[in-house]
Each structure stands twice: as structure tokens, then as C-alpha cells.
Amino acid sequence: MKGSSDNSFIPKRGASKRKQTGGSRQIYIFTYISYILMFATLLSSGGVYLYQQYINNQLDIAVEALNSEIGSFSQADMERVTQFNLRLAQAQDRLENSMSVTAVFEALQAATIDTVQINSLAMEREDDDRIVIEAMIQTDSFDSTIFQRGVFLRNGIIQDVEITDVKDSVAIETGERAQESNARPIVSFQASLAVPLEQIPADPQSYQLNQPDVIVPNTEIPEQPPELLIEQEVPAQEVNEDTL
Amino acid sequence: MMMSKNLFIQVAMIAISIGIIITFVNPTFSEIGEQQDDILVYQTEQQKVSGVNNQLSSLITSLNNVASDDYRRLLTYMPDEVDTIAVARDLSLVSRQAGVLYISAVSRGVVTNANSPDNASSQDFIQPKEHMFSLNVEGTYDTVKNLFALLEQNNYPIEVQNVNVQKKGGGLLSVEIGLSVYAYENSPADQEIVF
């Protein structure tokens, strides 16, 4: 006897006939991904290997180029240039720091008043900065001393004027006859002056314009002033422009 | 059964792929990056060396173009060595040319502390070797001034370091002059360049 369910218009579904269509589709995508990944990995591995070979080659070329460039460097040429440059720099340094003692004397002349007499003079060069002058000066009065100090201070070249050891005394001058003696006041003092080197530069070009031949040593006996005509041996020497 | 075998193969392929990527592709990429950096460094250094070589070549050309007369003057102005006898002779000749009475010219040796480590730190370059001389003369004010003028015009530097002037009788002055003459001092750092 058939049950009531057999007459139902709703079809019966057997559990064994059910198809798992969704599961097979997932496996297909997974397979697809795995194949792509595998091929991509193999391709990229090959590509990376080949690119590495190319980069290695490029590195070898770069190293070779650097070694070649280093090999073309000349140590001897470099030493020649650096030595020439250093010699030039040393010569230029001495030239730039050269100073004129004549200019110092000129400055002192210009800054010395008529009533003043310089008894002794000492100059000392302090590196390449300045000349320090110590002078023992004698004059006839304190007023002259003050005036002289003012002239030193107003001078544009001389700097750092310091007047010390001011002493007054009397000098007795004996005339032709022993009875004639003349006493005159003396004020002596020590002047310390400083002159910056940049104020008294030597100017070789001006010398060359004025006296082009004066630097050549001369074996001829120069004319001596009358007061210096003292017997002296003058050895015969050869003229040599290259003195060093 | 067949399905699980396929799945196993697929999983194995993925695992192998990941393994290849981790063990080969990624390290190789890193190595390639380092090599590219190295190439860049080598190329930069090569350009620098090339620049130095070009500059050196240019300087050598300039050096070769220096007139021989100018080069000889430079060697006279800053010689390799100072001949103390020749300097004494020159001082004697210059003194007589100036019109002063030449008394003596004596070498006082070499100043050794010019390039000492204490001084070297404060200087930009190596100072030349300094030879000291002492010159004693007698003369009038004008002849002494003339002597200094001639010393300033010498073809190598004779620098006055100190002067001591004393009055003597008869309008004469006794002058003691400390002088410096210079010679080229080579740089101690001039050693072979090692790349």
C-alpha cells in the first residue's frame, strides 16, 4: 500500500543523488591559482637569475672602469703640481708679508720734531703682525716731549705710542777753551711705538720701475762716503745672478 | 580519492612556489639591490677620479705653460736650500753697494719651530724653512737707509726681523740687523696616495 506521501506532487530527493557542484568549482579556482603561482614563481626565478647575471656584469664593468681610471692617475704629476703650488704659496705668503724698513724710517722722520734727537733705536718684528720700535730719545724740554708725544699720536702710521722713563738732566758742553762751558737742559725718554705691517708694505714693483738693475750684485768697489773710507779687503768675486 | 590527490599536488605547488620565493627570489632581489648600490658607488667614485685626473691634466698643462724664466725666478725666490755662504756674500755685496761699512754677516742657523705641531694647527699651509742671519754694518743715516732699500729689492726675500741702531761718533751709526732668508719646505704629508 502506497502511503500518502507517494501521491504528493512534491518530488522526493534522494540523499545519494545530490551533486556537489559548488565544491568542484572551488577546487578549480584553487588549481588555477596554484598553477599561476607556480609558473609565476618559475618565471620570476629565471628572470631574477638572468637579471642578477646582468647586474654582475654591470658591476664588473663599473669596477673595471674605476680601476682603469685609478690606473691612469699619475702620482708623479700630482706631486709635481702640489710641490709647485706649495712653493708658490710659500713665496706669495712671504711676498704678502714683506715690509719696508725704509718706510719705517720715513714714518719716523715725518713724526720726529726738530728739537728731538734719537740716540738709539731698536726694532723688532713680531711675526707677520707689526714692528715694535723702542727708541731712546732726547730733547730740550718737557714741552718738546709733550709735543713729540702728540706728533707720534697723530701720526697715521705709528700706533700704540708709549712714552716712559722721562728724565731731565743737564748736559755740560765744553767749548774750545776749557773755561767756556755751556750747560743746557736735557729731557730724555723712551718711546715705544708699534707699526702694523700693512702700513709699511714693501712694493717690489715700484723698485723695479725706479731701479731695475740694482738687485744684481756688483763686484766693483762702491763709492764710500768720506767718513767711511776705511781700509778694507774687497775680495774679487764673480757676478752671479742666481745667488742661491 | 582522485580529488584529494589533486588537492595535495596543488598545495604542494603552492608550497614549493612560496619556498622558491622565500629562498631564492627574495634574497636574490636583495642582492641585486645591493649590487645596484655598489654599481652606483663605483660609478660615482669613477666620476670623482675622472674629475681629479682631468683637473690634474689641466694643471699639468698650466704648469708646462709657465715660462722657464718665471720658473727660474720662483726657484730663486723660494729655493730648495739656502746657501749660507752665498747669502753672506750677497749681504757683503749689497752692503758695499749701499755705501755702508760692512763689518760681518753671520749665519745664525735655521728656525726649527715654524712648523711645529703647535703652530701647524693654526696655519693653513707649511711655512718655508727660515734661516737666520746677522748683519753688522756702520754708516750714515742715508747709507743705512739705502742698505735697507737694497735689501728689500733683492731677488730672494731678505726679511728684516730686528734692527739695533746705536750712535757712534762722526755721524756714524752702528747697525746690527737680524735677517731671515727662506727656503722651500716640502710638505711632510706628500706621501703616495693609496686608493
**Angle at the Cα of B34 from the Cα atoms of B33 and B39, rounded to 5 degrees:** 95
Burial of B154 (0-12, 13-18, 19+ CB in 10 A): buried
Contact B172 A40 (CB under 8 A): no
B69: confidence class by pLDDT, cuts 50, 70, 90? very high
Whether the predicted pLDDT of B96 surpasses 70 = yes
**Angle at the Cα of A14 from the Cα atoms of A13 and A15, rounded to 5 degrees:** 115
| SS percent in chain A: helix, strand, coil, step 5 | 45, 20, 35
Residues of chain A with C-beta less than 8 angstroms from the C-beta of B83? 243-244
Question: Tell me, what's the pLDDT at A220?
Answer: 39
Rounded to the nearest angstrom, the minimum Cα separation between B74 and chain A is 7
B138: confidence class by pLDDT, cuts 50, 70, 90? very high
Q: What is the ipTM of this complex?
A: 0.81
Return the SS3 of A60.
Answer: helix
- Give the lowest-confidence range in A61-70, B26-35, B71-80, B105-114: B105-114
Q: Where are the alpha helices (DSSP H) in chain A?
A: 21-71, 75-96, 101-110, 142-154, 204-210
Question: Tell me, what's the pLDDT at B171?
Answer: 85
Say which residue, B169 or B80, is predicted with more confidence.
B80
Q: How far apart are CA B157 and CA A204, in angstroms?
A: 11
Contact A225 B151 (CB under 8 A): no
Burial of A6-19, coded b for 16+ CB within 10 Å and e otherwise, reads eeeeeeeeeeeeee
Q: How far apart are CA A206 and CA A173, in angstroms?
A: 45
Contact A62 B39 (CB under 8 A): yes
Whether the predicted pLDDT of B190 surpasses 80 = no
Burial of A223-244, coded b for 16+ CB within 10 Å and e otherwise, reads ebbeebeeeeeeeeeeeeeebb
Say which residue, B122 or A99, is predicted with more confidence.
A99
Question: Tell me, what's the pLDDT at A158?
Answer: 87
Residues of chain A with C-beta less than 8 angstroms from the C-beta of B160? 99, 101, 123, 125
Question: Tell me, what's the pLDDT at A209?
Answer: 55
Return the SS3 of A44.
Answer: helix
Contact A244 B87 (CB under 8 A): yes
Contact A90 B3 (CB under 8 A): no
* Cβ–Cβ < 8 Å for A228, A221: no
Average pLDDT, chain B: 88
Q: Shortest CA distance to A166 belongs to which of A133, A148, A191?
A: A191
Whether the predicted pLDDT of B115 surpasses 70 = no
Enumerate the domain spans of chain B: 1-65, 80-111+128-194
B111: confidence class by pLDDT, cuts 50, 70, 90? confident
Question: Tell me, what's the pLDDT at A212?
Answer: 40
DSSP letter for A11, please: P
What separation in angstroms does the CA of B50 have from each of A65, A68, A71, B56? Answer: 10, 10, 11, 10
pTM: 0.71
Superfamily of domain B80-111+128-194: Ribosomal protein S6/Translation elongation factor EF1B (3.30.70.60)
Question: Cα dihedral angle (A239, B131, B162, A227), rounded to 10 degrees?
Answer: -30
Q: What is the pLDDT of residues A47-99, one digit of tens each?
A: 999 999 999 999 999 999 999 999 999 999 999 999 999 999 999 999 888 89
Which residue among A38, A101, A122 places its CB closest to the CB of B148?
A101
Question: Tell me, what's the pLDDT at A219?
Answer: 36
Question: Tell me, what's the pLDDT at A49?
Answer: 95
Which residue among B31, B93, B166 places its CB closest to the CB of A218?
B93
* Cβ–Cβ < 8 Å for A133, A149: no
Question: Tell me, what's the pLDDT at B165?
Answer: 94
Residues of chain B with C-beta less than 8 angstroms from the C-beta of A79? 190
Rounded to the nearest angstrom, the minimum Cα separation between A244 and chain B is 6
Cell of B103: 763689518
Q: Would strands A159-174 and A181-196 be described as parallel, antiparallel, or unpaired?
A: antiparallel
* Percentage of chain B lying above the pLDDT 70 cut: 88
Contact B42 A58 (CB under 8 A): no
Q: How far apart are CA B155 and CA A244, in angstroms?
A: 10
Residues of chain A with C-beta less than 8 angstroms from the C-beta of B57? 77
Which residue among A73, A86, A244 places its CB closest to the CB of B126?
A86
Count of C-beta atoms within a 10 Å radius of residue A113: 13
Low-confidence ranges of chain A (pLDDT < 70): 1-27, 173-181, 204-244
**DSSP strands (E only) in B8-148:** 101-111, 129-139
Q: How far apart are CA B146 and CA B95, in angstroms?
A: 9
Whether the predicted pLDDT of B119 surpasses 70 = no
Chain B residue at shortest CA distance from A53: B32
